[in-house]
Structure 1
Amino acid sequence: FVHRVLKDKAAVLINLGVWEEGILVQPGNPKRLKTIADLAQPGVTIVNREQGSGSRELLERKLQEEKISFTAVQGFDQIVNGHQDVALAVATGKADAGVSSASIATAFGLEFIPLHQSRYDLVILKQYLEEAPVQRLLGTLGHRQVISQLQALGGYDTSLTGEVVATVEAATNGKHN
């Protein structure tokens, strides 16, 4: 993806963190949900995110992998905007489940069924890497207080936060190095 977007520019990828996404359910998991396929069971209602959100894309991809029609999932068209709205709908019983992050589940006292981990990286063009503002940002990313705040939220893997996880070399003669 980075090669395609940057074309002939050199860059480094610095990890921001890895977060876990999955199904939020009420405390005690009263519907006994375990997998994405369980969302299509009779009597189970979900809340969904808006088109283009990562959570919705994850839900759609997982349903397609299981060959489950979107129309088979009650509440698929019940749309909310944002992770907190998903958690609020589940916490208040307006929905039995919804896709969001582990950190949101923790914040709302909900149970969490993991589905996927997403790694988030910061892409910095090599020509700007030594600039003072960039160096300050990188120094902040690796600071123990920033790491401890991410860990306190729950659901984030910070083992690589602030680390260079990949380099992209400039293309030469139409080929990537």
Structure 2
Amino acid sequence: MSVELSKPQQQRVIEETSRYIDIANQRYQTNYPVIAVHFDLTGHTIGMYKHVKRQRIIRYNAAIFAKYFEENMHDTVPHEVAHYIVDMQYGRRKVRPHGLEWQAVMADFGADDSRTANYDLSDIPKRQYSTVPYACGCQQHDLGIRRHNKVIKQNINYYCRQCGDELMAV
């Protein structure tokens, strides 16, 4: 089942994101700018707030939004905007991602502060990860590309949990 998020639906998500930022600006007497919204997430992640260097964006998964549009408008949009507001208020201090500050913003939004959704995502494609085959004395293991690169570049060793042998590239 392939469901597309229509342009009018995308516009509604962008407007709802802006509306929650306006609510926060009124509530906290601030003037946080409207944030860029992208619909480029894949896999089973529904939404993500991202702050890299001086750029802040909210990314949404268009496939999951299309399948559960109203639920995500109600839950995911305030969830991600709350991350943005907490980042704007507290910066990169030691603030936990779903800590008390984030929960307070969610409460001010009148939104549920659950951190996970319980949707049927069986027809949503999962992200494919690259693996590299390794072996020990008892079985073959597939190391993710990050761990493989650590073996190569940082001379890190990994060991089998069952036999204790060092994993070696096949």
Bigger radius of gyration, 1 or 2?
2
Q: TM-score, normalised by structure 2?
A: 0.24
Q: TM-score, normalised by structure 1?
A: 0.24
Q: Which has the higher strand share?
A: 1
Higher relative contact order (CA 8 A, sep 6+): 1
